[in-house]
A = this chain, B = another copy of it.
């Protein structure tokens, strides 16, 4: 075969994966919808079952589809996303952790500023809800859950910017590994302070004050970073 000019060597698998995505798009399926059974896909595309499965595994790896044993193939949570957190990423080292937080401290403040300008309704409600949940968890002392919800707050904040790509970027850098690592390192500042800072950021966004939202977010993340740097030096 030729595949002239280009360099592409589209294997059967490449075509399959693309075709299946196209099929999902054609049917206007979205996250959570059931797709087709493996056998049915094999018949439809006139290929063997293991081949379909390989293609599905590829899609599955980026959250485009989800395979549920005994149940079926479903459209995944991350279909259509441009930016992803690497689902196979190793637990980051201390250095990488700090680097990750520095990246957040650089990216999130301007995102907060944009959020204060745009203020997507649904995201505002989510932020409010996150804060309420966090308040309860501060009381009950469930620190693992609390760390999770705090991350949710940052993600909701990014969603309030109305820019899906920014939301995806922020989501990617706030992914679970961070929480795990923080817990492992026993790093945490005053939890009430965190909550207060989040509340202040929320207030600035609701008030539509970009400069304040940006400054507060920067101070908040720099604070977290300072605490962590401190802990790493005095383990």
Chain A positions within 8 Å of B, measured between CB atoms, are 9, 11, 13, 17, 21, 25, 50, 53-55, 57-62, 64, 69, 78, 80-90, 92, 96, 99-100, 102-103, 106-107, 110-111, 114, 163-166, 169, 172-173, 175, 177
Contact = CB atoms under 8 A, between A and B. Distances in A.
B86 A83 contact: yes
Contacts of A96: 82, 164-165
A88 B21 contact: yes
A99 B163 contact: yes
A114 B86 CA distance: 24
Contacts of A9: 69
A82 B173 contact: yes
A83 B85 contact: yes
A82 B80 CA distance: 19
18 contacts: A9-B69, A11-B69, A50-B54, A54-B57, A58-B60, A59-B88, A61-B62, A81-B86, A82-B173, A83-B173, A84-B84, A84-B86, A102-B163, A103-B165, A103-B169, A106-B163, A169-B172, A169-B173
Could you tell me the dominant secondary structure of chain A's interface residues? Answer: helix
A60 B17 CA distance: 13
Given A57-B58, A58-B58, A88-B64, A172 B100 contact: no
Contacts of A102: 163, 165-166
Given A84-B86, A102-B166, A106-B114, 15 more contacts: A13-B57, A21-B88, A50-B50, A50-B54, A57-B57, A57-B58, A58-B60, A60-B61, A78-B86, A80-B90, A82-B177, A102-B165, A106-B107, A106-B110, A106-B163
A39 B89 CA distance: 25
Contact of A62 (B25, B54, B87): B87
A125 to B, nearest CB: 22
Contacts of A110: 106-107, 110
